[in-house]
Structures are given as C-alpha cells and as structure tokens.
C-alpha cells in the first residue's frame, strides 16, 4: 500500500551502520583497545600491570579522574566510597517487594533507578539547571558525591538482592574492610564474631572487579551515555546501562557459559557440541567479541585467577569440560576463520561458581565493577568541551509513502 519512500524529503548523506560496526560516537581518553593485537589499556596502563599491582578502587580512581591517585587521594576516595556504601533503611522494603525468585539483575537495575529518587541534588530537572561545569568546584563536588555513592552502594545493593531471595536479613556495611571484603562480608556474614572474608577469594574478586571495570563503548556503556545525554540523573543512566548489560550477548554471557557447560556435561560430548555450533544450532558462549579478533587479554588474567581460587575452593567439576571445549574450538577451522577466541566471560563463571555464587548472580558480579567505567564515561561526557549534545541518531526510512486515512467500514 502506498509508494515506498526512502527519505525523499531530506537530502544529504546518511550512513546506515547496523550494530555500529564503524561508528565512533565520542572522542575518549579513558580506555584503549587494539582488537587485532589483544591489547587493553586503562588511561594508558596495560591491564596486565594493573591486575598485578593495583586494586579495583585505585583503578576506579584512575579510570574516572585520569591519573593514579597519590596515597592521600587514594585514602580519601576509598573512605568516601566506603562511607557511602550504607543504604537508607527504607530500601529494605523496596527489596522485600520483589517475588522470592526475582532475577538479581532485575532487582539491581530497579535499585539503581530507585536510588535516583533519593538524591534530588543529582537531578537537573529538579534543580532547573545544567549541573556540572568544568572548573566550578561546587558542581564538581556534587558530581563526585554521586560517583562515591554509586560505587559505594552498588556492592550493598547487590548483596541485598542476594540476601533477600534467601529470606536473610540485610547486613550493614562493615568498617575496616576492603571494597570486595565488604561485599563478601555483606553477602555471606552469618553473624559470626570477627568474621573476615578469605583473603585469597577477596583478592581474586578484586582482580575480577578491576578487569571488568571498563571496556570502552560496549553496549551498556553506550546505553549509559545515550541515556545520560538527555541530562538525566546518573542513577537513571546507570540503571539503563545495567539493563543493557543483562542480555546474554553482553554481561549475561558468564551465566550462559555455565548453562552451556552444564548442558554439555562432560568432555566426551564436546565434539558434538562443536558440530552443533558450526551448524548454527548452538552458540559457543564466552567466545567471540566485537572488538577482539584474537584472545581477549582479560581471559588470560581470569584463567590465572581461577587457579588461585581453585587452590582454596577445589576445582570446579566443569573445568575439564571447559578446557576440552576451549582446546577444541581453538583448533577448529570454523572458529579460526572467524577469529573467534575466548572472551572475559569464558572462565569467569567457573570462578564465581567455585566461590559459591548462584548462577543467576553472575551478571551482577559484572555489573557492580562496571559501574566504575560507566561513571568514568558519564563524567567525561558531562565535562566535555562545548557541553553535552543529546544523542539523537537518524534512521533510513524505508516505509510507506503518504497515505490517506480510510474509515474502518471502507477498509478491505
């Protein structure tokens, strides 16, 4: 019906780039990736060096503010983040309003949005102004407070989403523990006196948090920036990013990997699974990446961390199957030709499983540290020269030409 119309009324160049394969939407100083060489750097520092020598919160400071903190800057940042990890008591009712079997990512996404209602100082609509101006100390302090709050509260919200499903009381964030130490304490604390998380697991989780902290313009970060470009408060923008991360092609892949390994069952079933992937009946979760055309450099760090964790927890029963699957895929022509190699999610789920996290909690363990990267990009965009430009892409219209309305009784 009607003539087809292809943007006949608007002339000029319009590029359609499905999936943004070739579109750069920002200039950024935060994270560098060379997908062909398998290189990842935060603010110029190789991810391998940071994983070995830094901590998640020190790296968070680096990503957000651009340089490694001095001892004093680190102490101040850490104490602000930890101080802000406490949640308002009202939020307990919010978590208790979910069904007993709610997915923790649904809870976390909603919880970030809920946080926005607590802090009107972060809401430009309520304040009636553009809030953040480079060089204006008061506005930068307001921005910093939202950053401390979001990083601090994300571990507490995640722990609340975990405990509420188990019918357990919530735990007030402790003092004196590290970021991941506090998180593990809030997750697992059963009331023992002088409880401290296992230091090997605490460190392993810190390394995993650090390497998940940023990865430039992935789907969730792009969502945060797109949402933030309307100048909405950062809590709403982070909630949007969290929703984007939830999908199995992105942050949900670590959960999908374990479900896949369980379905394969044992190493002897690997060849049949590989054949099914090649016939496109199955997806090899944890393999492939939009940017990396070789192994994801984070996957080596995760693999090494897994060995540390297994020394404490014992080997995961699925490890043998995972190794057989990895080795089979790496020498199969289908995967070689398409440059498909393990991404960060291939091994991370095995660590989370060994540490006792439930399967559907895995994407939460990705989202919590990624809050840092989302905030680094959000801050960069808010303070960019010339102010924020709303992200409003165009389409190539291929629908009907003009048609006249036909009353219902005359339609055939």
Phi–psi pair at 291, nearest 5 degrees: -100, -45
- Compute the least distance from the CB of residue 337 to ligand ACO, in Å: 9
What crossing angle do the helices spanning 56-65 and 179-188 adopt, rounded to 10°?
120
In the residue annotation, 189 being an active-site residue is answered as: no
x/- contact string, 7-36, with ligand ACO (CB under 6 A)? ------------x-----------------
Q: Are 398 and 4 in contact (CB under 8 A)?
A: yes
In the residue annotation, 250 being an active-site residue is answered as: yes
Q: Are 221 and 346 in contact (CB under 8 A)?
A: no
Between 134 and 338, CB nearer to ligand ACO: 338
Instruction: Determine, following the binding rule CB under 6 A, whether residue 287 of this chain makes contact with ligand ACO.
Output: yes
Between 231 and 261, CB nearer to ligand ACO: 261
Q: How far apart are CA 342 and CA 298, in angstroms?
A: 9
x/- contact string, 97-116, with ligand ACO (CB under 6 A)? --------------------
Q: What is residue 1's DSSP assignment? A: -
Instruction: Determine, following the binding rule CB under 6 A, whether residue 294 of this chain makes contact with ligand ACO.
Output: no
Instruction: Determine, following the binding rule CB under 6 A, whether residue 214 of this chain makes contact with ligand ACO.
Output: no
Q: Which residue has the tokens 């188990």?
A: 166
Number of chain positions touching ligand ACO (CB under 6 A): 18
Residue 270's region, left for phi above 0, alpha for psi from -120 to 50, else beta, is alpha
- Compute the least distance from the CB of residue 84 to ligand ACO, in Å: 27
Q: Are 162 and 108 in contact (CB under 8 A)?
A: no
Please give the radius of gyration of the chain, using alpha carbons only, rounded to the nearest integer.
23
Between 171 and 211, CB nearer to ligand ACO: 211
Instruction: Determine, following the binding rule CB under 6 A, whether residue 289 of this chain makes contact with ligand ACO.
Output: yes
Instruction: Determine, following the binding rule CB under 6 A, whether residue 217 of this chain makes contact with ligand ACO.
Output: no
Looking at 245-253, 264-272, 300-308, 353-361, which segment touches ligand ACO (CB under 6 A)? 245-253
Looking at 22-30, 89-97, 288-296, 316-324, which segment touches ligand ACO (CB under 6 A)? 288-296
| Residue numbers 261-280 binding ligand ACO by CB under 6 A | 277
Buried b (16+ CB within 10 A) or exposed e, 79-105: ebbbebbebeeebeebbeebeeebbbb
Between 55 and 285, CB nearer to ligand ACO: 285
- Compute the least distance from the CB of residue 292 to ligand ACO, in Å: 8
Residue among 288, 363, 369, 373 that touches ligand ACO (CB under 6 A): 288
Residue among 41, 74, 145, 250 that touches ligand ACO (CB under 6 A): 250
Residue among 249, 317, 336, 406 that touches ligand ACO (CB under 6 A): 249
Q: Which residue has the tokens 């897994």?
A: 306
In the residue annotation, 289 being an active-site residue is answered as: yes
- Compute the least distance from the CB of residue 279 to ligand ACO, in Å: 10
- Compute the least distance from the CB of residue 347 to ligand ACO, in Å: 12
Q: How far apart are CA 403 and CA 267, in angstroms?
A: 60
Cα dihedral angle (85, 88, 89, 92), rounded to 10 degrees?
-70
Residue among 196, 283, 295, 384 that touches ligand ACO (CB under 6 A): 283
- If residue 40 lies in a helix (H) or strand (E), which one and from where to where? strand 39-42
Contacts (Cβ under 8 Å, ≥6 apart) of 123: 116, 232, 233
> Distances in Å between the alpha carbon of 1 and those of 80, 91, 159, 401, 411?
62, 53, 55, 9, 12
Which position's Cβ is nearest ligand ACO?
Answer: 288
Q: Which of 34, 144, 250, 360 is catalytic?
A: 250
Nearest by Cα to 324 from 278, 279, 288, 273: 273
x/- contact string, 333-352, with ligand ACO (CB under 6 A)? -----x-x--xxx-------
The catalytic residues are 250, 289, 345
What residue ranges bind ligand ACO (CB under 6 A)?
A: 19, 249-250, 253, 277, 283-290, 338, 340, 343-345
């Amino acid at each position: 019906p009607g003539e087809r119309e292809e943007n006949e009324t608007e002339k000029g160049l319009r590029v359609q780039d499905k999936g943004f394969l070739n579109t750069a939407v920002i200039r950024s100083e935060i994270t560098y990736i060379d997908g062909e060489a398998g290189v990842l750097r935060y603010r110029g520092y190789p991810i391998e060096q940071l994983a070995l020598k830094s901590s998640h919160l020190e790296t968070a400071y680096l990503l957000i503010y651009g340089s490694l903190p001095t001892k004093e800057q680190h102490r101040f940042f850490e104490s602000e983040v930890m101080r802000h990890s406490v949640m308002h008591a009202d939020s307990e009712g919010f978590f208790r309003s979910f069904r007993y079997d709610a997915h923790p990512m649904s809870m976390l996404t909603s919880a970030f949005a809920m946080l926005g209602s607590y802090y009107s100082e972060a809401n430009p609509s309520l304040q009636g102004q553009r809030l953040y101006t480079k060089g204006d100390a008061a506005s930068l302090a307001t921005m910093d407070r939202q950053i401390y709050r979001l990083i601090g509260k994300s571990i507490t919200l995640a722990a609340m989403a975990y405990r509420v499903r188990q019918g357990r009381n919530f735990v007030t964030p402790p003092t004196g523990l590290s970021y991941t130490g506090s998180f593990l304490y809030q997750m697992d604390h059963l009331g023992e006196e002088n409880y401290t998380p296992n230091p090997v697991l605490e460190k392993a989780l810190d390394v995993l948090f650090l390497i998940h902290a940023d990865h430039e313009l992935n789907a969730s970060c792009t969502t945060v920036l797109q949402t933030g470009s309307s100048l909405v408060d950062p809590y709403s923008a982070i909630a949007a990013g969290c929703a984007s991360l939830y999908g199995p092609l992105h942050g949900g892949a670590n959960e999908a990997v374990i479900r896949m390994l369980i379905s394969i069952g044992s190493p002897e079933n690997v060849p049949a699974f590989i054949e099914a992937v090649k016939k496109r009946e199955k997806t090899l979760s944890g393999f492939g990446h939009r940017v990396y055309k070789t192994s994801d450099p984070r996957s080596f760090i995760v693999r090494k961390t897994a060995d540390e964790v297994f020394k404490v927890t014992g080997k995961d029963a699925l490890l043998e199957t995972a190794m057989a699957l990895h080795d089979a895929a790496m020498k199969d022509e289908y995967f070689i030709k398409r440059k498909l190699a393990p991404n960060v999610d291939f091994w991370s789920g095995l660590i989370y499983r060994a540490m006792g996290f439930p399967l559907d909690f895995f994407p939460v363990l990705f989202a919590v540290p990624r809050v840092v990267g989302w905030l680094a990009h959000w801050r960069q965009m808010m303070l960019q020269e010339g102010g924020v430009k709303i992200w409003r892409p165009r389409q190539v219209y291929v629908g009907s030409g003009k048609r006249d309305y036909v009353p219902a009784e005359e339609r055939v």
